[in-house]
Amino acid sequence: MTHSNKLHPVLQQYKSFLLLVERRSSQTISTYMFCMEMFYAWLIENAPEFVDESTIKKVDIHSLSRYLIYRKTSGMEANTIAKDISALRSFGFFMEGKGLWDENPAALLERPNPGRILPAVWSVEEVDAFLETIDISSPLGIRDRALFELIYSCGLRISESCTIDLTDVHFEERLILVRGKGSKERIVPFGDEAIYWLKKWIFESRIELRPPPNEKALFLSRYGKRISRKGIWKRFKQVEIASGLHGKVHTLRHSFATHLLSGGADLRSVQELLGHSDIATTQIYTHVDAEDLKLYHKDFFPGHKKSK
């Protein structure tokens, strides 16, 4: 499926609606716009009669259902389809408000129930293997090592690691100021490895990228500007392939939480470190740990090795 670089006028208006009327976060706007551009690209290839601005109001529950079936059969996970539906519902609300749709057919869509999906977690040895795969012979390599060390050491989201400024890092206190979802701030400690690589990055390699004098971002792109989420994701994928491991940037965050709980940290403390507003979100990591315990029990407890 190919995307047009030119944004449909209605989608451009929808983006302005999200920003100015609903005052959605930049992350939500980015997610919703990506979902709607995917839907628009599908319309162009599969339902061209709906694409013209004057006839886009012909989109109905049947075309929406066809699109979601396409997404499902393309291998999209339930969480991804749930995001698609959220975006389509929001867009439908916008279209109904403009009078382009008599009603919002997307309101009839039911979000799939993904159930409790256990997050992928790496062992401590696998995290070490991933980090040691990074080529540290260049300033960008030092940056990558410091970046991923910090993400693992603090359990950061990828969006949080982009927004860290130099002034947020406090070496003497071994603390970092993190801006999480909803602009909520939290203080997170970081460990010796992160301190070592951060100092090497800040005091030796960062200047080699020639940032502007007023650039306050901790992590920079090769052009000396604040690194983007996409830039971090691309570097992660390259290291992931080289390491032979399989995961996402978020796998480092999942591993951070699981290793803490395995080491004896209490759930409430891990909740605070991760920046979860609801402890129920943090509890999923106790399920991961329980799965590990089942494996240990199976391997080392002889009483249940023989079938009845």
DSSP letters along 165-181, please?
BGGGEETTTTEEEEE-G
Report yes or no on 306 lying in a domain.
no
Report yes or no on 292 lying in a domain.
yes
103 plus 50 within the same structural domain: yes
User: pLDDT, tens digit, for every residue of 229-285?
Assistant: 999 999 999 999 999 999 999 999 999 988 888 777 878 888 889 988 887 778 777
Report yes or no on 84 lying in a domain.
yes
User: pLDDT, tens digit, for every residue of 101-115?
Assistant: 888 888 888 777 656
**From CA 254, how far away is CA 246, in angstroms rounded?**
13
Catalytic residues: 157, 181, 250, 253, 276, 285
140 plus 239 within the same structural domain: yes
Q: Which domain covers residue 168, as residue numbers?
A: 124-297
Task: Yes or no: say if 77 and 48 are a contact pair by the CB < 8 Å rule.
Answer: no
Mean pLDDT computed over every residue of the chain: 84
**From CA 112, how far away is CA 69, in angstroms rounded?**
12
Instruction: Look up the CATH number of the domain holding residue 33.
Output: 1.10.150.130
The answer for residues whose C-beta is within 8 angstroms of residue 233's C-beta and 6 or more apart is 158, 249
Task: Yes or no: say if 287 and 276 are a contact pair by the CB < 8 Å rule.
Answer: no
Report yes or no on 18 lying in a domain.
yes
Report yes or no on 53 lying in a domain.
yes
276 plus 146 within the same structural domain: yes
The answer for residues whose C-beta is within 8 angstroms of residue 14's C-beta and 6 or more apart is 33, 36, 91, 94
Strand runs labelled E in the chain: 169-170, 175-179, 185-189
97 plus 158 within the same structural domain: no
Last residue of a domain, one of 108, 136, 168: 108
137 plus 93 within the same structural domain: no
172 plus 251 within the same structural domain: yes
Only one residue has tokens 């529950």, namely: 61
Report yes or no on 114 lying in a domain.
no
**Total domains in the fold of the chain:** 2
Only one residue has tokens 């830039």, namely: 231
Tokens of 308: 């009845």
Only one residue has tokens 């409430």, namely: 268
Q: What pLDDT score was predicted for residue 288?
A: 61
Q: Looking at per-residue confidence, does 271 or 56 come out higher? A: 271
Instruction: At 25, give phi and psi (nearest 5°).
Output: -70, 160
82 plus 149 within the same structural domain: no
Span of 61-65, 168-172, 230-234, 300-304 with lowest mean pLDDT:
300-304
The torsion region of residue 182 among left (phi > 0), alpha (psi -120 to 50) and beta comes to left
Task: Yes or no: say if 62 and 108 are a contact pair by the CB < 8 Å rule.
Answer: no
Report yes or no on 202 lying in a domain.
yes
User: pLDDT, tens digit, for every residue of 142-160?
Assistant: 999 999 999 999 999 999 9
Report yes or no on 302 lying in a domain.
no
**From CA 284, how far away is CA 22, in angstroms rounded?**
31
Instruction: Look up the CATH number of the domain holding residue 206.
Output: 1.10.443.10
Question: Which DSSP state fits 49?
Answer: G
75 plus 157 within the same structural domain: no
Q: What pLDDT score was predicted for residue 307?
A: 39
Q: Is the pLDDT of residue 53 over 90?
A: no
Q: What pLDDT score was predicted for residue 148?
A: 97
Last residue of a domain, one of 108, 133, 152: 108
